[in-house]
Structure 1
């Protein structure tokens, strides 16, 4: 018997475009997750409100967190008006203002940072290397949450942070993957492993384009896949 369309499922809203590549990852991961849980003929009810990753990075560069909050809040409000019952961001950097967004959101927001912290603890690591945009690596919204979860956190040095940021902005946000960037990231992760890290968090949602467990010197925690599982759990009723 064919499953009744969207029976018991809540509508998900994604704030996408931050960047476009990771929005595609999220879309596919949520569909795959729903079908694993609810069956191959099940598809999520889903709306994407696409913003610009470059606007997000500009707000962060200017430390205009009030402006960033307003930019993201407007997108969440549009998702709610489109019928979304649960929403999320599709990038880690905007989580720098996640607490403000959650406080004002008309619908529940599911945090990628919280989901990743829980997964890192469950994975058994003690010291995690955190990669991401400059703001993810230098601000405390992600590192602090990891420490609060009982983990030690390592980040690249200042020169490496600048190099990673440039590669994210110039290449990965445009879907460009080069051997040089992959080799550079592998070298950075290898150095952090030598300094004591036992896991690496791919804390920019475009990093899975270039790093995974096959090439990384450390086991990778991919927030896109981790977060997608949390989103599926939030929108699919138990037993569906």
Structure 2
């Protein structure tokens, strides 16, 4: 197996999902007492969230680059950034190290193409929904995207930052997300992309009225395949 570095803590709740899913996958594939060779750099999210709100993206990019260098120096042969929003700074990582960095947009688009879906609504933080760093990556793979109206966008962002990053998954928020997805189905959307690593905490991917592409699960699956030797 190849050793993978995870840049996490943004939030710790979603990083825990990555860790568990990757390790469960290794055990299922290899059996016995096998587990994944991982190195995790878990960052403090409070100053990161504040810097995001203040538009201090260059500072955050430098911080991610330093994390990438530390992980590569510790023996990581590839990297996964456990945050959709921080993929805004993906180029800082690829400029900092000469090891592969698995992009969440690439693996999501591949999963959609595999089932012949090319149009979806995108949920995420306000940065992910309103800016182009993830949307453009998906569009480059031929994925057509819709985003929520401003009121829904604000409520999704609130759920993420006020609840999910704290490890909370409130019943009311689950109902809200279910209503949003039902309305999207009525509007003719083919699918929904959960473009935030925490959103799976309030969306039941198996019982939704539309196909749900959970980027956390897809990214972790891609990480598993990479660890086991698939390029």
Residues 1:82 and 2:74 aligned together: yes
Q: Secondary structure at the match of 1:41?
A: coil
Distance 2:46 2:105 in 1: 21
Separation (CA, whole Å) in 2 of partners of 1:123 and 1:229: 16
- The offset of 1:86, in angstroms, is 1.2
User: What is the aligned residue count?
Assistant: 230
Within-5 A mapping of 1:2-151? 9-151=1-143
How much has 1:53 moved relative to structure 2?
3.1
Residue aligned with 2:41, SS = strand
In the TM superposition, residue 215 of structure 1 has moved relative to its aligned partner by 4.1
Cα drift, residue 216 of structure 1 = 2.4
Q: How far apart are the structure 1 equivalents of 2:153 and 2:213? A: 19
Task: Point out where structure 1 has 5 or more consecutive residues left out of the alignment.
Answer: 1-8
Contact 1:134 1:165 in 2 (8 A): yes
Q: Distance in 2 between matches of 1:84 and 1:121?
A: 30
CA distance in 2, matches of 1:52, 1:199: 33
Equivalent residue of 1:216, what SS? coil
Q: Which residue of 1 aligns with 2:184?
A: 192
Q: For 1:212, what is the secondary structure of its paired residue?
A: coil
TM-score (norm 2): 0.93
Distance in structure 2 (CA, Å) of the matches to 1:75 and 1:217: 39
1:210 Cα deviation (Å)?
A: 1.0
Other structure's SS at 1:48 match: strand
Shift of 1:147: 1.6
**Which residue of the other structure, out of 149, 155, 166, is the alignment partner of 1:163?**
155
CA distance in 2: counterparts of 1:216 and 1:125, whole angstroms: 16
**Stretch deviating more after TM superposition (25-34 or 214-223):** 214-223
Determine the structure 2 residue equivalent to 1:230. Answer: 222
CA distance in 2, matches of 1:68, 1:164: 23
